[in-house]
Structure formats: C-alpha cells, structure tokens
Amino acid sequence: MGFLQKGATRFVLNMLSSIQKIAAKSGWLLCFLCLGLGLFGAERHYRRCCCKRLDIRIAPVSDQRMVFSQDVVELLALRGLTPRLGRPFCKVPIQRMAHAVRKHHCVRSVVVSRCWPGTIRVDVTPRRLLARCMHQQGAGYYIDEEGGLVPAGGKRAARVLVVEIDGLKPHSKTCLGMQGRGAALMDLLRYIDSNPFWRAQIAAIRMDAAGQVTMHTQVGRQRIVFGKLKGMEKKFRKLKAFYRKIAPIKGWNTYRCVNLAFDRQIICK
C-alpha cells in the first residue's frame, strides 16, 4: 500500500507540474497574441489619423528673438511643405520640413515630430547671438555662442555689442579661425555674456592686428584700454573697482580713458 500511495502522489505532482507548464506557455502565447493585435490596431488607427494642427515652439535661448513662428510658416510655405489639414498623418514629410526650417541663418537645430492624435510639432532652437562683427564690405556678421558667423541683415537686427577686428575676412566660416585671435575673442565674448552687468555696460569692442583690445561703454564716455586678453578676469575686477570707487567720487565723465593694460594699476586720463 505504501508503495502505491507514493506512486499516486508522484503521479499527481507530475500532473500538476505539467498543467502549470501548459498554463505558463498558454499565458505567454496569449500575451503575445494580445500584443500583436494591439500593435495591428494601433497601426491601422495611425494610418487613418489625419493632420489636425501645426504646433511651432521656439526655445527661449536669449532676450534677442531672431526666429519667430511666422518665419517657420513662411519657410515651409516657400517650399510647399506646409502640412495640409486633413492629410494622412503618415504622409507628412517631417524630414523635409526640418531641412527647410534649418535654412534660416539664426536656427541652430530643428526637430519635427508627429504627436498623437494629429499634431505636427516643430521644435526650433535658435542660435544665441553674442556680438555683431562689422567690416567695410556689407552688413557684417553676427557671432554666435559657438563662434559661428551668421550673416547680418534681413528683417530684424539683434541688439548686441559691436565688434571690430582688424584683418577680418568677410567670408570666414567661423570666428575661431581668424589668425589665432578668434579663440581669445570668444572667451571674452562669453565672459561678457555670462555677466548681466558687463552685458549691459559694454557696447563695443575693437581688436587690432596685434590682439590689443579697446572697449566702449554704454554709461560714461570712457574708452577702456583693455590690452591683451591675458588676465581677463583681473582686468574686469579692476574695471569694476573703477566704477565703484573712482567714478562716483571723481565723476562719471571726468576721465576719457581708463587703461587696464598694466598689472595692478588703473591709469585714468
């Protein structure tokens, strides 16, 4: 009897194990089946979905707005890529749309995507313009935060500081390649842009062929002789000391020139 009971018990356990395995396999099969049906239904619904609206979003990279939603609409219309309302969602050429918007000189990047249930979304990141580079041939160039030269002119003008550089080639592709002076100039522009006070105060910069820098300010009539772009932060600290300790006592328009080129000295004339 004991032997028969043990055999029956083993038989029942084997049966239960087999049933569990079958149930597990059936459950996975059912899951895959439901997933496949869901994907099939979503694909059919996606193909039936139509374009309902165009959503254009411009990232606020700075106070200087040079790219507007209307610019994007005009660029798309110029190339016949404006998404028509009611057009099948999957047939909207989002890659060609992105390529068309990138033609704008002040656009850094564009992402065009299809958003459920019928929105074509255009996300635009403009260039951050730091300065306007002037030369005798034409309207000049804007310099962006990465040292790229953006053609100036057009419908709008950015209110940024003006830069004059002796020996600037009008058709240079990047500011960083200008006779080895570009990298130092970009450090200066980024430093000014990162500080709200200097961004508001410095109006113009001139760099000669030897790399000597002169600045002009918004408040006060002083010409700031900055010298070479070495020890830049120390020189700006000296200039701030002039504004805090000298100009309020002597008068803002007493001196016409403030020379910061010499170490540990502020020479006022």
For tokens 């309020």, what's the residue? 248
CA 202/CA 220 separation, integer angstroms: 11
DSSP 3-state of 82: coil
Could you tell me if residue 245 is inside a domain? yes
230 shares its domain with 99: no
Final residue in a domain of this structure, among 107, 126, 145: 126
Look at residue 29 in the predicted model and tell me its pLDDT. Answer: 54
Nearest to 213 by CA among 255, 186, 182, 185: 185
CATH number for 169 = 3.40.50.11690
177 shares its domain with 78: no
Look at residue 36 in the predicted model and tell me its pLDDT. Answer: 53
CATH number for 122 = 3.10.20.310
Per-residue pLDDT of the chain (269 residues; tens, 9 = 90+): 433 344 445 544 555 465 455 545 555 555 555 555 444 444 555 556 778 889 999 999 888 888 999 999 999 999 998 888 888 877 888 899 999 999 998 999 999 998 877 889 999 999 999 998 876 566 688 888 888 888 887 778 888 899 988 766 655 555 555 556 778 888 899 999 999 999 999 999 998 888 889 999 888 778 999 998 888 999 999 999 998 988 888 888 888 899 998 888 888 98
How many residues are listed for the chain in this entry? 269
Nearest to 122 by CA among 174, 181, 53, 183: 53
Could you tell me if residue 6 is inside a domain? no
DSSP one-letter code for 84: P
Residue range(s) defining the domain that contains residue 250: 129-268
Look at residue 216 in the predicted model and tell me its pLDDT. Answer: 92
For the chain, give the mean pLDDT: 79
- Report the half-sphere exposure of 200 (CA within 13 A, side-chain side): 3
133 shares its domain with 257: yes
CA 67/CA 156 separation, integer angstroms: 9
Backbone phi, then psi, for 100, in 5-degree steps? -65, -40
- Residue 239, number of CB atoms within 10 A of its CB: 21
115 shares its domain with 233: no
165 shares its domain with 64: no
Could you tell me if residue 143 is inside a domain? yes
| Residue spans of alpha helices (H) in the chain | 2-48, 69-78, 94-101, 182-194, 196-201, 232-241, 247-250
207 shares its domain with 178: yes
Could you tell me if residue 167 is inside a domain? yes
DSSP 3-state of 217: strand
- Produce one character per residue of 138-156: b if its CB has 16 or more CB atoms within 10 Å, e if not: eebbbbbbebbbbebeeee
Look at residue 137 in the predicted model and tell me its pLDDT. Answer: 60
147 shares its domain with 261: yes
pLDDT 10s digits, 250-269: 888 888 899 998 888 888 98
The widest CA-to-CA distance across the chain, in whole angstroms, is 120
Burial (CB count within 10 angstroms: exposed 0-12, middle 13-18, buried 19+), residue 184: middle
181 shares its domain with 244: yes
CA 117/CA 36 separation, integer angstroms: 21
Final residue in a domain of this structure, among 92, 126, 160: 126
174 shares its domain with 208: yes
Look at residue 7 in the predicted model and tell me its pLDDT. Answer: 42
- To the nearest 10 degrees (0 to 180), the angle between helices 182-194 and 232-241 is 40
Model pTM score? 0.74
Look at residue 38 in the predicted model and tell me its pLDDT. Answer: 47
142 shares its domain with 252: yes
218 shares its domain with 192: yes
142 shares its domain with 258: yes
Final residue in a domain of this structure, among 126, 159, 190: 126
Q: How many domains does the chain have?
A: 2
- Residue 39, number of CB atoms within 10 A of its CB: 10
Could you tell me if residue 109 is inside a domain? yes
